[in-house]
Amino acid sequence: MSTDRFDLAIIGGGPAGLAAASMAFACGLNSVLIDENPGLGGRVFHGIETERDVSILGTDRIAATTLARDAREAATVLSGHSVVDIVRDHEHFQIKTLHGNELRSASARRLLIATGARERSMAFPGWTLPGVMTAGGVQTLLKGARLVPAGPVVLAGSGPLLLLVAVQLLRHDVPVAAILDTTPIANIRRAMPRLAGALWSGSVLRRGVGLLASLLWQRVPIYRGVNTIAAQGDGSIRAVTFKAGKRTHRLDCALLATHVGILPDIQLAGLVDCQLRWDASIPGWTPVTDRNGKTSQDGVFIAGDAAGIGGAEAAPHRGRIAATAAAVELGAIAPDEGDRLVTLDRKKLRRLNRERAFLDTLFFPSPDVRVPQDDAVLVCRCEAVSAGCLRALAAADVAEINHVKSISRCGMGACQGRVCGPLAEETLKDATGRSAEAVGTFRVRPPLKPVPIGAYAAFASDDPPAEARFLYTADW
């Protein structure tokens, strides 16, 4: 099977990847844009290419339509392709993708990872019941399939997305029974010194105030300082119970949407063995990059939320900067030309970072949403490993997360720790008092998605075998 060769492979068709594709084209690079969704736009602009009426969800989505159209002209676009493995083959990265039930391969001299973020999970009794979803998931159904739940819906957690989803549901006449806000009250005091800087720098805060006003106007009950959430039901969710202050409440609902912030999607960075660092401000693991998005792994760049949460407004700027840096490395443009191209992007990013600092402080997740309190709660949904099981291992001094994985199977299921990783890390840290670095994070192993064995058999490759798999040099 022949492999298409490119200068640059951009993985992820969200705002960072789309902007990177256009910039790469402007720099004279021949690039491929690989994305696992049927259409471009990523998560934030999901469904942008099939939307009939772009006015429904705001002006930024209209701008994103242009971004997607430009990217299609600028790069070879492989939609519906999930990256399952990447290996280095001499001077090229060989990227294996699964398209339907078929394996394909592409190769490129530079790699730009723009896979965005994933939602942090909140684990509580009943969170595996049908009818409990992430707020981002509910929004994806609205944006893509144009589906809304019948309601009543309860939203629980913390962060701007929670308010946004509530308002979007109300706009489509979905009854929102309540918002359960888990934001620690103390966060507000800590965030205040950063408020002034944030007000002048980005749009999330201003929009957030608008959303809150809209919810208050529509008299949606908002419970503050919520903890001890549990989904009740037999077969699927029927109600949610929780504590607000000293009182215990019970609300009937058909859907519980949870959101406690987002984390960089580090699956590909981990696969190609980029160095990660613990970012205490999120808190979570983040790839180490320089200001151009260049990682510790030669030839690999990361842009957008995958390189550390910066938000959708910052992502195109980060995509352009990383694509330009890749073009400079490949000798397509001179370094000073590269600097000139991204001057405005850097300026805009400096402003947006001030707002991010405020949001990170205000919505810093409380320990009781990061660590499941009840021993019976499943941390790992795939392999049904409970918080109690992890605590028992911690008590026996087994607290390095890959060691825990080998013994308990936590993180060994189909999701490969994407959902349970942060929960397991926090549970082990909490139980032992060890640092994030001592507990570590799951090593990423290919294939990143289940691949039918027949697909491997059919992938009779004429390509030379890869020179070497990445060496796993991390000492955890």
Partner 1 sequence: MPLELDLPPFRCLESRPEVSISFEGRDLRVPEGISVAAALLLHGLPPGRRSAIGGAQRCAYCLIGQCFECTMTIDGVPYRQACMTTVEAGMTVERQVG
Q: Which residues bind partner 1 (CB under 8 A)?
A: 36-38, 43, 50, 52, 82, 101, 118-119, 128-134, 136-138, 140-142, 144-151, 172, 235-236, 254-255, 265, 381-384, 413-415, 418-419, 449-450, 452
Minimum CB–partner distance for residue 61 and partner 1 (Å): 15
Q: Which residue lies nearer to partner 1 by CB, 144 or 283?
A: 144
Q: Which residue lies nearer to partner 1 by CB, 27 or 132?
A: 132
Query: For the residues of 256-301, what is the DSSP string, one character each?
Result: EEEEE-EEE--HHHHHTT--EEEETTTTEEEE-B-TT-BBSSTTEE
SS3 67: helix
Minimum CB–partner distance for residue 241 and partner 1 (Å): 19
Q: Which residue lies nearer to partner 1 by CB, 381 or 403?
A: 381
* Token digits of residue 194: 């950063």
* Token digits of residue 464: 């030379």
Residue 320 CB contacts under 8 Å (≥ 6 apart), including other chains:
19, 20, 22, 23, 341, 342, 345
What does the alpha-carbon distance between residue 251 and residue 266 come to, in Å, rounded to a whole number?
36
Minimum CB–partner distance for residue 396 and partner 1 (Å): 22
Q: Which residue lies nearer to partner 1 by CB, 352 or 420?
A: 420
Between the CA atoms of 372, 377, 380 and 381, what dihedral angle is there, to the nearest 10 degrees? -130
* Token digits of residue 157: 């957690």
Minimum CB–partner distance for residue 407 and partner 1 (Å): 16
Q: Which residue lies nearer to partner 1 by CB, 235 or 433?
A: 235
Q: Which residue lies nearer to partner 1 by CB, 168 or 182?
A: 168
SS3 253: coil
Minimum CB–partner distance for residue 144 and partner 1 (Å): 7
What does the alpha-carbon distance between residue 319 and residue 299 come to, in Å, rounded to a whole number?
15
Contact indicator for 391, 427 with CB cutoff of 8 Å: yes
Minimum CB–partner distance for residue 109 and partner 1 (Å): 27
Burial class (CB in 10 A: 0-12, 13-18, 19+), 150: exposed
Q: Which residue lies nearer to partner 1 by CB, 185 or 384?
A: 384
SS3 112: strand
As beta bridge partners, residue 223 has: 180
Minimum CB–partner distance for residue 104 and partner 1 (Å): 16
Q: Which residue lies nearer to partner 1 by CB, 256 or 349?
A: 256
Q: Which residue lies nearer to partner 1 by CB, 137 or 388?
A: 137
What does the alpha-carbon distance between residue 404 and residue 393 come to, in Å, rounded to a whole number?
7
CA atoms lying within 13 Å on the CB side of residue 259: 23
Minimum CB–partner distance for residue 10 and partner 1 (Å): 18
Minimum CB–partner distance for residue 23 and partner 1 (Å): 25
Q: Which residue lies nearer to partner 1 by CB, 259 or 320?
A: 259
Minimum CB–partner distance for residue 81 and partner 1 (Å): 11
Instruction: Give the CA angle between residues 13, 17, 18 to the nearest 5°.
Output: 75
Contact indicator for 302, 295 with CB cutoff of 8 Å: yes
Measured CA to CA in angstroms, residue 369 lies from 159, 189, 476 at distances of 13, 20, 26
CA atoms lying within 13 Å on the CB side of residue 47: 15
